[in-house]
Amino acid sequence: MLPVAELHVHIEGTLEPELLVKLAARNGTPMPILDAAELRATYHFGDLQSFLNLYYANLRVLKIEADFYDLASAYLTRAAAAGVRRAEIFFDPQTHLANGVRLEEVFGGLTAALADGARNHGISADLIVCFLRDLGADAADTALRACLPFRDKFIGVGLDSAEVGYPPALFTKVYRQAAAEGLRLVAHAGEEGGPDYVREALDELHVERIDHGVRSMEDPELVARLRAEQIPLTVCPLSNVALRVVGTLGDHMLPGMLHAGLHATVNSDDPAYFGGYVDDNLAALRAAFGYDDARLAALARNSFDACFAPEADKRRWKAEVDSWLARTPA
| DSSP character at residue 45 | -
Phi, psi at residue 170, to the nearest 5°?
Answer: -65, -20
As a whole number of angstroms, the distance between CA 62 and CA 51 comes to 18
The single residue of 191, 200, 208, 218 carrying the catalytic annotation is 191
Q: Are 160 and 129 in contact (CB under 8 A)?
A: no
Rg (CA), the chain: 19
* 3-state secondary structure at position 74: helix
Nearest residue to 289 (alpha-carbon basis) of 321, 259, 328, 330: 259
Across-strand partners of 87?
Answer: 6, 125
Dihedral angle computed from the Cα positions of residues 107, 29, 161 and 175, in that order, rounded to the nearest 10 degrees? -30
Question: Is 229 annotated in the active site?
Answer: no
- Strand arrangement of the beta sheet that strand 232-235 belongs to: 4-10, 84-91, 124-132, 156-160, 184-189, 209-212, 232-235, 263-266
Across-strand partners of 159?
Answer: 131
| DSSP character at residue 185 | E
Kindly list the catalytic residues: 191
